[in-house]
């Protein structure tokens, strides 16, 4: 199973993504992740969630090969809805979500991490939104929660990446640790949260979401509208074909 969930005795629920080779989730994978996070928040025994990944990197976004090998727009629409559901599930999870980021965190991965409540990362972690390479838009809403506006625009337009160590100065990444210490670092901060009365922490999560200056769900949905326009114009299929080695744009 690409998404697993384990509740520890201390109330920390560990949700793990394991979809080799690069944790690029299929449409079903995104919906499964959303369901898992929703269920975690509804479980009264869950005090905090640690979202982590197995393998070379945290998350490489959507499965472009699935999209290019599916006729019509079903996979695109599914990916849009699945990503929206997963990002929303992180943000609206009734308990805090601690993201433990290893290796690459790209596209949809940034959507997950940008909506998390706390981020710890390994020394090899880096973040990016390379959507423009594939003729898509999205996750600018979430990258803007990790870096200042001008940095976000530069990363977005150039498809550059930024190291986790560089995000510490912005306060969006709590700390950067050696790869073999990442899980322990995430569990440590999660444990500090779990030590408090879960009734207070759940109220605090709802309260902080309520005073957020940006409606992340509405903002991301706005971005997705432009992605659909690019797809209808045929631009996206051309660029994704180059990446996936397919010929969907010629069909």
Q: What angle do CA 57, 223, 96 make, to 5 degrees?
A: 50
pLDDT tens digits for 95-131? Answer: 999 999 999 999 999 999 999 999 999 999 999 999 9
pLDDT tens digits for 141-196? Answer: 999 999 999 999 999 999 999 999 999 999 999 999 999 999 999 999 999 999 99
Q: Do residues 104 and 61 lie in contact, with contact meaning Cβ atoms separated by under 8 Å?
A: no
pTM, rounded to two decimals: 0.95
Omega before 21 within 30 of 0, i.e. cis = yes
- With a cut of 90, say whether residue 246 has pLDDT above it: no
- With a cut of 90, say whether residue 73 has pLDDT above it: no
Mean pLDDT of all residues belonging to the chain: 95
CA distance 52 to 17: 6
Q: How confident is the model at residue 45 (pLDDT cuts 50, 70, 90)?
A: very high
């Amino acid at each position: 199973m690409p998404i697993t969930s384990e509740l520890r005795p201390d109330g920390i629920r560990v949700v793990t993504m394991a979809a080799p080779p690069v944790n690029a989730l299929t449409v079903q994978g995104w919906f499964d992740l959303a369901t898992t996070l929703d269920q975690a928040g509804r479980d009264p025994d869950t005090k905090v969630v640690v979202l982590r990944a197995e393998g070379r990197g945290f998350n490489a976004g959507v499965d472009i090969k699935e999209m290019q090998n599916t006729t019509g727009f079903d996979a695109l629409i599914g990916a849009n809805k699945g990503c929206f559901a997963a990002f929303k599930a992180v943000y609206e999870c009734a308990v805090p979500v601690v993201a433990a980021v290893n290796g690459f965190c790209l596209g949809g991965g940034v959507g997950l991490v940008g909506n998390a409540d706390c981020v710890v990362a390994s020394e090899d972690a880096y973040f990016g939104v390379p959507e423009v390479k594939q003729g898509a838009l999205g996750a600018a809403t979430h990258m803007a929660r990790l870096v200042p506006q001008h940095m976000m625009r530069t990363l977005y337009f150039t498809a550059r990446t930024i190291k986790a160590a560089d995000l510490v100065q912005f306060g969006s990444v709590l700390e950067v640790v050696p790869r073999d210490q990442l899980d322990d670092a995430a569990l440590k901060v999660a444990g500090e949260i779990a030590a408090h009365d879960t009734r207070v922490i759940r109220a605090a999560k709802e309260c902080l979401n309520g005073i957020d200056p940006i409606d992340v769900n509405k903002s991301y949905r706005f971005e997705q509208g432009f992605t659909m326009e690019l797809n209808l114009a045929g631009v996206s299929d051309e660029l994704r074909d180059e990446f996936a080695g397919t010929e969907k744009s010629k069909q």
